Structure 1
Amino acid sequence: MTSFVFVTGNANKLKEVKAILAAGTSGIEVTSQSVDVPEVQGSTQEVAIAKCSAAAEKLGAACVTEDTALCFEALGGLPGPYIKDFLGKLGHDGLNTLLSGFPTTRATALCTFAYSPGPSQTPILFEGQTEGNIVPPRGPTNFGWDPIFEPLEGEGLTYAEMDGAKKNAISHRYRALEKLRVYLADQAKSA
């Protein structure tokens, strides 16, 4: 049995992570804890490494952090890792307005899980992507930018309009978490 602390205060993220791992019968035990870590600026990879390193030092244990980016093609990848701030300031409609006048609404949902086996150990990154488009908000508005992201594989539905199982089967979070699950399973076999 492998275990780690998932560093999050977001109940929706924790629920998705547990559901995805349970579906894979992974033998991975996940607990969660909210840890206050510095918000650094940089690429998605730089942000993930800094956040996970700080969390591992504070917890003194193996941990996983997750960072999500929403990268608009028309804006050269922005808002990227700053999507939470953009969403907080502009809302769903404002994010749509950012793309007014551009020839594309294409976007990439990017999830980066960083795993640290413990303090003073360099985190390992696992990334997953889902391609889609930014659309006017549809569906429940209780989970970030899900109402405005329509994945190409989503049969015309936004993430918010999908049930949890459907979203989890194609999401950027699933794809990154599956890579982490495989890595941890391989590590457990080697031990």
Structure 2
Amino acid sequence: MTIRFVTSNAGKVREAREYLTDDVEQIQYDYTEIQSDDLADIAVAGAKEAFEETGGEDPVLVDDAGLFVEALGGFPGPYSAYVEDTVGVERVWNLAEMEDNRRARFRCVVAYYDGETAETFDGAVPGRIVAPRGDGGFGYDPIFEHEGATMAEMSTERKNAISHRGRALAKFADWLAEN
């Protein structure tokens, strides 16, 4: 069975192939991202739309992810990409540095849809918000520290080994093997 991963990010597809024994095909389709405070709602809506718009033959995967800063009430959460583009990572750090509690989580929800069944699988990586460091990664990686290193300081292999997306994909792979 081929699973179509709806993303423009080839790195996400490589990561998915590490967890899934089935063929993973990258599909670039710009689905409508609904406005919701719930990553699962966003991912499922995207998966259903992408399934229909790409022919409705093979199951699809869509993921949605975000950075959830505890002291900021979970902000930016599901709005992380928009906040990164409009406010910027540095300003998110500036907001967090004013707080005593800098705990945060990277969260990801992977949604699977095959035309009948919609299932979601979540993964999270705990950490804390710190002053920007490191040259690797993208997005919020320079300000998110996990076990003493920011994601931007980690190699791709180390980052993928602990990633929120990887944790969600591992749960999906287990479910897929049983079903």
TM-score (normalised: structure 1): 0.86
1:53, 1:122 within 8 Å by CA — same for their partners in 2?
A: no
The 4+ residue runs of structure 1 with deviation greater than 6 A are none
Residue identity opposite 2:163 in structure 1: S
- Once residues 175 and 164 of structure 1 are traced to their aligned partners in structure 2, the CA distance between those partners, rounded to angstroms, is 15
Q: Which residue of 1 aligns with 2:118?
A: 123
Counterpart selection for 1:172 from 161, 164, 169: 164
Deviations 1:19-41 (A, max 9, x none): x32xxxx4221110111211111
The alignment of Structure 1 onto Structure 2 pairs a total of residues equal to: 176
2:97, 2:130 within 8 Å by CA — same for their partners in 1?
A: no
- Once residues 16 and 62 of structure 2 are traced to their aligned partners in structure 1, the CA distance between those partners, rounded to angstroms, is 11
2:136, 2:154 within 8 Å by CA — same for their partners in 1?
A: no
Identify unmatched segments of 5+ residues in structure 1: none
> Per the alignment, in what secondary structure is the counterpart of residue 32 of structure 2?
coil
- Once residues 98 and 48 of structure 1 are traced to their aligned partners in structure 2, the CA distance between those partners, rounded to angstroms, is 28
- Once residues 117 and 76 of structure 2 are traced to their aligned partners in structure 1, the CA distance between those partners, rounded to angstroms, is 27
- Once residues 172 and 59 of structure 2 are traced to their aligned partners in structure 1, the CA distance between those partners, rounded to angstroms, is 13
Cα shift at 1:169: 1.8
Q: Which residue of 2 aligns with 1:45?
A: 40
Q: Which residue of 1 aligns with 2:144?
A: 149
- Once residues 143 and 84 of structure 1 are traced to their aligned partners in structure 2, the CA distance between those partners, rounded to angstroms, is 11
> Per the alignment, in what secondary structure is the counterpart of residue 88 of structure 2?
helix
1:186 equivalent to 2:172? Answer: no
TM-score (normalised: structure 2): 0.91
1:109, 1:131 within 8 Å by CA — same for their partners in 2?
A: yes
- Computed over aligned residues only, the root mean square deviation of the Cα atoms, in angstroms, reads 1.5
Q: Which residue of 2 aligns with 1:16?
A: 15
> Per the alignment, in what secondary structure is the counterpart of residue 31 of structure 2?
coil
